A and B are shown apart, each in its own frame.
Chain A
Amino acid sequence: MDRLLQLNTIFISIVIEAIPFIVIGALISALIEVFVSENMIIRLMPKNRFLSVITASFLGVLFPGCECGIVPIASRLIKKGVAPHAAISFMLSSPIINPIVVFATFIAFGDSWTMVFYRAGLALVVSILVGIVLSFVIKENPLKENIDMHAHDHSNQNTKQKLISVITHTIDEFLSVAKFLVMGSMIAAAMQVYVPTKILLTLGDTKVTAILVMMGLAFILSICSEADAFVASSFRNSFGQSSIVAFLVLGPMLDIKNVLMMTGYFQKKIVIILVSLISVFVFIGSLLL
């Protein structure tokens, strides 16, 4: 019973930490839905697959959020006509290269830019590569069919109606993400209580296993990307720089709660491809560092 209460405490703590960011994500997604028209996006985004992936990856700088809020935003962008591979690149880079996370990383690693550069650099490389590969792989609509696909035209609503639409879309989005957050946080909390980290840490002897262990930890711990740098820096003495970078890049792209969220929005096939591509690229990338 005690263990269950502890599990609940950690679980609640993760949920409470993430909800503000999910609400912000839902709000941004709703704003895009209502105020950004498809024409605007078509005008702004380059047609060329390489250029669009690169542009989208760098645009991640603009969205201050974490990995839980970004999934609905990305699927909203796809519905609005952004090429899926570009939207996914954006989804991967944004939780890492946005100003808040960059700042948190800078502070967490002792006011040093080194880790910030490695982290943001590898994140951009991985998101661009994944985007390019996906642009060849994705043939049809990567989104699940059962989520509402009809694009609403909000352009002829007046301001009051638009505001109402923003609020209702925010609620819809929040509620649909919430169940994945709850499930992910529950698993992550259970892992923290029942699986001794000691087991994982003893595995991290060589560079290769250290990177794999840190990637596994990043996936399991499911820490919000706004906070993960502080946790990562606490591993600095037991793990080398390359494995810390792997932790910091993989976590925001893939962790238990955001993979669950992806399965809510994207087709299973796409999620599997994404998970494997990201893991492979992050692994190779941090090995080369």
Chain B
Amino acid sequence: MFRVVILLLFTNLFFTLHLSGNISKYINMKYAFLSKSMVVVLFLLTIAEGIRWYLSDRKLQKEHIGCDCHHDHDHEHNHKHSHEIDKKTVSKGKKVKRFLSYTFVLIPALTGVLLPVATLDSQLVNAKGFQFPNLEDGNDKYGMHQVLNPDMSQFLGQDAFLDLVRKESKSYKVKEDITLTDDDYLKALEVIYNYSGDFVGKTITFKGFSYNGPNLNNNQIFLLRFGIIHCIADSGAFGMMIQFPNDIHIPNDQWYQVTGKVDTVYYPPMKARIPVIKVTSYKTINQPKDPYVYRNSFN
């Protein structure tokens, strides 16, 4: 009985997440077919387990209570024998243990549906370590900053990646005003970080949550968004430094939309010049409905 409930609740977990669209907050949708097929597979298993429970309950009534190995087919003969021994040895303690372990298994099936999806915020940026890899290694200037600059070169290979960014950059370089949307957030950042020189003086508008990173002046702060590559467990925070004319005191995790002109600045922790947006206008916004950005296609 308990087993049917577990299977049913897990089916429900996958079903609800897909129905509400919240699944996209847990995994990259490129892999959605796997979890989608789980709705069907787990449902079938639920039905099978339900039938098995129903049949065994009728057939062996009291003998089977508290025993979870129902191999009724063909083996009833020797099973009955072993169940009698089981019955004596399966003490109350064991039953409690089994009950507890089943309850334990139910945790994700319940919390996944009942609790709201938490949004990763600056506290997690801290936990994930806002650190910058050493860029002294000269031949690797397009190094990996899984913070700030979404470098996808490791998914594509260096040459293919540089080609891609070059191609992508064409559509951005001709524009004077660039607005980063949810869809092209990571792509645009890639281009801006790799060709920051070409973007100096252009106007950029983008959104993100505030993060007080290390080594910042009093008028500087980072504006970041979490980007999901595979699933939340391997997400990174990407965005740009913004700079106000006057000193600011902004706590972490405030959502802003800012517009400003691109410049570059040497940022010691990264040992590199990075783009900075000199803010001309800004407004506080509500956290977007989907706070995350994705890199689903490489085209």
Contacts and interface: CB of A to CB of B under 8 A. Distances in A.
Contacts, number: 187
A13 B124 contact: no
B64 interface: no
Contact of B157 (A112, A200, A221): A112
Interface string B220-239: 00000000011111101000
A6 B144 contact: no
Given A2-B123, A167-B45, A16 B115 contact: no
Contacts of B232: 9-10, 13
A168 interface: yes
B7 A171 contact: yes
Interface stretch (A38-46, A125-133, A190-198, A281-289): A190-198
A182 B17 CA distance: 18
A109 interface: yes
A238 interface: yes
Nearest to A17: B231
Contacts of B153: 110
A222 to B, nearest CB: 9
Contacts of A17: 26-27, 31, 230-231, 233
Contacts of B42: 23
Nearest to A154: B74
Interface string A137-167: 0000000000010101100110001001101
Contacts of B92: none
B48 A167 contact: yes
A3 interface: yes
Main secondary structure, interface of B, reads helix
A120 B171 CA distance: 41
A196 B233 contact: no
A230 interface: yes
Given A152-B71, A183-B104, A198-B131, A107 B155 contact: yes
A196 B236 contact: no
A121 interface: no
B146 interface: yes
Nearest to B79: A150
Interface stretch (B133-141, B188-196, B198-206, B241-249): B133-141
B74 A5 contact: no
Interface of A: 2-3, 5-6, 8-17, 19-20, 23, 107-112, 148, 150, 152-153, 156-157, 161, 164-165, 167-168, 170-172, 174-175, 178-179, 182-183, 185-186, 188-189, 192-198, 200-201, 221, 223, 227, 230-231, 233-238
Given A9-B117, A171-B7, 10 more contacts: A8-B112, A13-B26, A16-B35, A156-B74, A171-B3, A174-B45, A182-B105, A230-B229, A233-B154, A237-B143
